Chain A
């Protein structure tokens, strides 16, 4: 019987195995590359998503800004169309008062212009008031009386104040005081209109002399006493001061605390506290500036009076207010970079300042917040802050108390599957702690948790006989079949025998090799994975300490604000 030489066959099989090994190695390398590329791609996609969202938001805000600018322009056009002639009256009245001073314009000219304006502005109180002035300058008593009555009929409050100011300017103090008394009689302490703020300006500027000032102070004091008996009105002042402080809070970006904001589920609460506490600094800045603004009372009486008259005759009329408010809202959108929600809040607060009626205390409060909206100067604002300082103090105290009551004394820290690449690779299960737990305890706990995660992963990857039971079964079957065939067809039997033994053995070998490699890899990266998580914990903890220090610093500024309010010049 011929001897079968298995040498070449075995060599061939060995060569094939070596080639296969090489190919598999190549494939493994490629898979590794693909896996790494995939991970990079994933983070690129996440970054792209975030960039895209930011872009969308900016784009939308940009669109809103453009829209606001267009609307503002059209509103201004409408204001010009509907109320442009009011501006003419305002300009003329200023010019007329100056002409009276200088005496270089003939009475007839003044008279003629004022009569024209009277016809052009049928509802505006200032036009008949000007006719009255012109008639007075011409000594036409009958026309003067008729015109004054017409102006008084259109707007008694403004007319009284206007003539009080004009007469005071002409050194007719007795008559001025009479008009002032008319003015007060027309007022309701619960429903004061904006021009009362102008009267306050008069007090600030000492424009009415001792008698007028006495009259004003008496009325103010009576109103204040009357209104402070009503807790609701007092409460409203405190609430408005709380709102005023709140509008000055800063904004914290998550990027300032990247790790804490990443892993702390309670970050938003802490962020809110930081933002709330930051208001002290900004409110202090605003009101110190108000307090320290130089508002000299040494200018000539005529100049100060001019300012007052100027405000009275140039301020917006009630009819114009809805349009003016809409312009303010559009301004607010532009100012807030298209953030419509914040713009609405700001505009609503501003609208309160422009509200038609306010009680005497609220008027002080609004003057303290936004004097420019009431058409008064910083000197009025100073007086208003002084008059409201009880409510300012209570407002700042309450504002601070409200956020302090919610101030977190620790931050929760959550480590989930996404907190690091290793965590997602090895199936990290959720683990949490807080900043109150001692560092050593946290780090030990985190390491132990990682050990259990890795143990579970390694056990799942480790090679076991169970994984190849099918391969063994196939190999045994093939060997038995090969032996059975060998008697009839030697070559075929031999091939089945070899194939049946070699291929499953090879596959089993590969499976074990892969499993061992995965286990080895996991063992190698175990410490690295722990270090990444520990480092994240340490950085988040350090950010927590920083945040607490920032909070304590900002919170402590309450005392400075209170000192400023208590020491406000009377």
Chain B
């Protein structure tokens, strides 16, 4: 393949097009969004990486409560859940941690996760992101292994 350098046409279009349709309105919401710039702790990253370690319901509930408390303390708005690669192996591809529904569910590649988690699936395929945060305003925020969010 040969890629030629060329200045493209629709630079502004891509600049203006948000990943999700919902534009956050209002001062409180803007404040919450502005609060999402913090670097996620390594504890959080490790917890998300180890979701597949145990299927003990008590342990799962404890982990979810910990994650919920962590996000509440940051003041970055209401988080619906996290979506990330599943390490259980075939046929499972990824899983969601539904913090509102209080459940962890694993999905094979042929099964589409429910909305809004489905919008995070393509991003979760990228090795550059450790997990994807999904907020109630529709924002989908990937987080890198070093805890840096992509806003």
Chain B, 1-23, contact with A by CB distance < 8 Å: what is the 0/1 string?
11111111111101111010000
Q: B4 and A345: CB pair below 8 A?
A: no
Looking across the interface, which residue of chain B has its beta carbon closest to that of A279?
A: B8
Q: Is the CB of A251 within 8 A of B126?
A: no
The distance in angstroms between the C-alpha atoms of A218 and B6, with both chains bound, is 40
Give complex CA distance A247, B26 in Å: 32
**A226 located at the interface, meaning its Cβ lies under 8 Å from any Cβ of chain B in the complex:** no
Q: A242-B15, A246-B11, A345-B11 are in contact. Are A231 and B126 (CB under 8 A)?
A: no
Whole-angstrom distance between the Cβ of B3 and the nearest chain A Cβ: 4
1/0 per residue B53-89: CB within 8 Å of A? 0000000000000000000000000000000000000
> Is chain A's interface secondary structure helix, strand, loop, or mixed overall?
helix
Interchain CA distance A559-B146 in the complex, whole Å: 12
Contact B1 A256 (CB under 8 A): yes
- What CA separation (Å) do A231 and B9 show in the bound complex? 27
Query: What CA separation (Å) do A141 and B7 show in the bound complex?
Result: 55
Contact assessment for B3 and A278 in the assembled complex, using a CB-CB cutoff below 8 Å: yes
For residue A330, give the distance in angstroms from its CB to the closest CB of chain B. Answer: 16
Of chain A, the residue at the smallest CB distance from B34 is: A231
> By the criterion CB–CB under 8 Å, are A405 and B19 in contact?
yes
What are the interface flags for A273-308 relative to B under an 8 Å C-beta threshold, 1 for contact and 0 otherwise? 011001001100000000000000000000000000
What residues of A have a CB within 8 angstroms of the CB of B150 in the complex? 394, 397-398, 400-401
Residues on B with C-beta less than 8 A from A282 are: 5
Contact string against A for B residues 97-133, beta-carbon threshold 8 Å, 1 for contact and 0 otherwise: 0000000000000000000000100110110100000
How many Å from the CB of B121 to the closest CB on chain A?
9
A246 CB contacts on chain B under 8 angstroms = 8, 10-11, 14-15
- In the assembled complex, the Cα of A348 lies from the Cα of B142 at a distance in Å of 31
Taking a contact as CB atoms under 8 Å apart, the answer to whether B8 and A342 are in contact is yes
Q: What number of B residues sit within 8 Å (CB to CB) of A?
A: 31
Binary contact readout A121-156 vs B (1 if CB under 8 angstroms, 0 otherwise): 000000000000000000000000000000000000
- Inter-chain contact A409/B8, CB cutoff 8 Å: no
B30-70 vs A, Cβ < 8 Å mask (1 yes, 0 no)? 10011000000000000000000000000000000000000
A399–B14 Cα distance when bound, in Å, is 8
Which residues of chain A from 530 to 560 have any CB-CB distance to chain B below 8 Å in the complex? 546-547, 550, 554-555, 558-559
User: When the two chains form their complex, are residues A345 and B12 in contact, meaning their CB atoms are under 8 A apart?
Assistant: yes
Chain B CB within 8 A of A248 CB: yes
A480 at the interface (CB under 8 A from B): no
Picked from B1, B2, B9, B148, the residue with its CB within 8 Å of the CB of A345 is: B9
Residues of A within 8 A of B126 (CB): 404, 407, 555
Q: Cβ of A498 < 8 Å from any Cβ of B?
A: no
Minimum distance in angstroms from B27 CB to a CB of chain A: 11
Q: Which residues of A contact B33 (CB under 8 A)?
A: 231
The answer to whether B134 has its CB under 8 Å from any CB of chain A is no
> Are the CB atoms of B8 and A275 closer together than 8 Å?
yes
B30–A256 touching, CB < 8 Å: no
| Complex interface residues of chain A between 493 and 534 (CB less than 8 A to chain B) | none
Residues of A within 8 A of B (CB): 231, 238-240, 242-243, 246-253, 256-257, 274-275, 278, 281-282, 336, 341-342, 345-346, 348-349, 394, 397-402, 404-407, 409, 546-547, 550, 554-555, 558-559
- The 5 listed contacts between A and B (C-beta, < 8 Å) are A231-B34, A256-B2, A275-B8, A398-B150, A550-B3
